[in-house]
Amino acid sequence: MRSQTLPQELIRAKRDGEALSPEAIGELVRGISDGSLSDAQVGALAMAVFLNGMDAAETVALTEAVRDSGDVLAWHGLGPGLDLPGPVLDKHSTGGVGDLVSLVLGPWVAACGGFVPMVSGRGLGHTGGTLDKLEAIPGYDIAPSRERLRTLVREAGVAIVGQTAELAPADRRLYAIRDVTATVESLPLIVSSILGKKLACGLDALVMDVKSGSGAFMPTPEKSRELAATIAEVASCAGTPTTALLTDMSQPLAPCAGNAVEVREAITLLTCERTGEKTGGRLLEVTRVLAAELLLAGKLADSRDAALALLDEQLTSGAAAERFARMVAGLGGPADLLERHDRYLPRAPIVRPVHAERSGRVTRMDTRGVGLAVVALGGGRRAPDDTIDPAVGLTGIAALGEPVGGERPLAWVHAASEAEAEHAAARLRAAIEVNDVAAGDVALPTLIQDVIRREAP
């Protein structure tokens, strides 16, 4: 039954800085979902929240209302033979450049006994999107039916897919209106948008990777830390134990950025023991720490050392790679992708090195600028309806502190044309600073900057 309070009166209260009750917030979110609130009213509400904020109780209530605005998946309590025999776990990142953690973490955690129904998104601005990467795989279906999703999660332990129309529909409409009303950068609205979708997946635990640095979503380290702490607190108060890690994004996480090139990197990491090609670096370290937190939260390990040992065992045995292969095949991709990925993943016609204007060491990066170089190649979107070229991108990106010059370029650019390659090369040179300094003179950032744990009440 609907409240007798007019929505404009609730909007007025928020406009005047008053705190809204959970019932009032629930009423407004229902109006967003069913269309009884006009676009003008939704925009006014978003602006009122943007200007006046929300306290902790309001943010929790908003998150829960967004979560409950559509279907909430259930994995336990379904009866004999239907319950998943393990914890339902997931990870979310605020996005970055060369951040392909999800492609590795999902199957890795599944190999350790977790079940990972991961709802992911597309690229936003300079950041790459997990769905765009997976769509570089021929036949991969990011929008399976609910029945197919359930079957795959049960059988493979992992399914990385897109948001369905039934999952947190209030967020879809609210975000679209925020995008055109200059109200995106509001902490309560950011938190409820991220968590509304994630918690609708029926999770037993969540780990959040919040980036800090020149390629991060938030503008300052302080804002990144505030977002991490707020997400951990709100998600846990909404019933899902959550750990938030603050991690570095002052350089690309992997030495590559693009779509097909990042899928190749994920396969290389997952199969490194099989092929003898050692890889990973920063990407492996962050993924391993995030995955260990999930194993601890899901009670799949009783100590950090045990969690890390289990993860190492499942990677070196090939079990994590096998879960990735089962997920890809289960969603319509080639069954032999691991063995023959060069046959399936597209390659750009132009691949050439980008040399620095001087020899020296990489001392600083505008990581956002590196990401925008990939967007300019066609590997990201300038507008929502842009078509992505999955083959383009950057590989072999030099790391902070690494010497460049001579035969060592800043990176290799993969482009559709010489003109686009040259344009991307200019962007890359502008984004990477090189100086004649000793190795010890380059300040290397801490990769894992903080861990914030919260238990559900």
The Cα–Cα gap between 297 and 108 comes to 15
CA dist., res. 247 & res. 213, Å (int) = 9
Neighbouring C-beta atoms of residue 147, cutoff 10 Å: 8
Interior CA angle at 16 toward 10 and 19, to 5°? 60
Residue 244 in any domain: the answer is yes
Q: Is residue 359 part of a domain?
A: yes
pLDDT at 454 over 90: no
How confident is the model at residue 100, as a pLDDT? 95
The CATH number that applies at residue 389 is 3.90.1170.30
Q: What is the CATH number of the domain that holds 22?
A: 1.20.970.10
Residue 278 has pLDDT above 80, yes or no: no
Q: How far apart are CA 107 and CA 136, in angstroms?
A: 18
Q: Of 36, 26, 33, 22, give the one whose Cα is nearest residue 70.
A: 33
Residue written as token pair 């020899």: 359
Beta carbons within 8 Å of 210's beta carbon, 6+ residues apart: 93, 94, 218, 224, 225, 227, 228, 231, 244, 245, 246, 247
Of 219 and 429, the structure prediction assigns the larger pLDDT to 429
Final residue of a domain: which of 341, 358, 380? 341
In a shared domain, residues 270 and 418: no
Q: Where does the pLDDT of residue 121 fall: very low under 50, low under 70, confident under 90, or very high at 90 and above?
A: confident
Same domain flag for 400 and 271: no
Domain match, 315 and 353 both: no
Residues 246 and 160 in one domain: yes
Kind of pairing, strands 158-162 and 116-120?
parallel
Q: Does residue 326 share a domain with residue 289? A: yes
Same structural domain, 224 and 284: yes
Which residue type, as a one-letter code, is found at position 118?
M
Lowest-confidence region among 175-184, 365-374, 394-403: 175-184
Q: Same domain, yes or no, for 355 and 249?
A: no
pLDDT tens track for 410-419 = 999 999 999 9
156 located within any domain? yes
Report the alpha-carbon angle 345-416-412, nearest 5: 75
CA atoms within 13 A on the CB side of 339: 5
- Return the active site residues: 90-93, 130, 178, 193, 197-198
Q: How many CA atoms lie less than 13 Å away from 145 in the CB half-sphere?
A: 3
Q: State phi, psi for 194 to the nearest 5 degrees.
A: -65, -50
The pLDDT tens digits for 127-137 are 778 999 999 99
Task: Kindly state whether residues 282 and 422 are assigned to the same domain.
Answer: no
Segments of 266-367 assigned E as strands = 350-354, 360-365
Q: Is residue 173 a part of any domain in this protein?
A: no
| Co-location of 308 and 387 in the same domain | no
Q: Are residues 32 and 118 in the same domain?
A: no
Tokens at 285, concatenated: 């370290």
Residues 337 and 360 both lie in one domain: no
The CB density around residue 30, as the number of other CB atoms within 10 Å, is: 17
Q: Decide if 80 is inside a domain.
A: no
Q: Is residue 146 part of a domain?
A: yes
Identify whether 172 is part of a domain. Answer: no
**What φ, ψ does residue 435 adopt, rounded to 5°?**
-140, 155
pLDDT tens digits, one per residue of 17-62: 999 999 999 999 999 999 999 999 999 999 999 999 999 999 999 9
- Rounded Cα distance, 375 and 371, in Å: 6
pTM score, two decimals? Answer: 0.92
pLDDT at 274: 55
404 lies in a domain?
yes
Which DSSP string do the residues of 419-434 spell out, in sequence order?
A: HHHHHHHHHHHHHEEE
pLDDT at 308 over 90: yes
- Both 201 and 308 in a single domain? yes
Last residue of a domain, one of 293, 323, 341: 341
393 neighbors 431 (Cβ within 8 angstroms): no
- CA 124 to chain CA mean position, Å: 10
- What was the pLDDT predicted at 276? 47
Helix (H, G, I), strand (E, B) or coil at 215: coil
Instruction: Return the CATH number at 212.
Output: 3.40.1030.10
What digits encode the pLDDT tens for the residues 81-107?
668 999 999 999 988 899 999 999 999
Domain count, the chain: 3
Q: Write down how long the chain is.
A: 457
Give whole-number Cα distances, 95 to 129, 156, 240, 378, in Å. 8, 26, 21, 18
Report yes or no: 255 and 89 within 8 Å, Cβ to Cβ.
no
Cα 42 from Cα 181, distance rounded (Å): 10
Last-in-domain residue among 300, 324, 341? 341
Whose CA is closest to 187, among 49, 41, 12, 23?
49
As a whole number, the mean pLDDT across the chain is 93
Within 10 angstroms of residue 355's Cβ, the number of other Cβ atoms is 17
Query: Among residues 165, 159, 121, 168, which one has the least CA distance to residue 141?
Result: 159
Give the containing element (helix H, strand E) for 261: helix 260-270
Confidence of residue 277 (pLDDT cuts 50, 70, 90): low
- Supply the range of the domain harboring residue 412: 347-441
Token code pair at residue 92: 């979310």
What SS3 class is residue 154?
helix
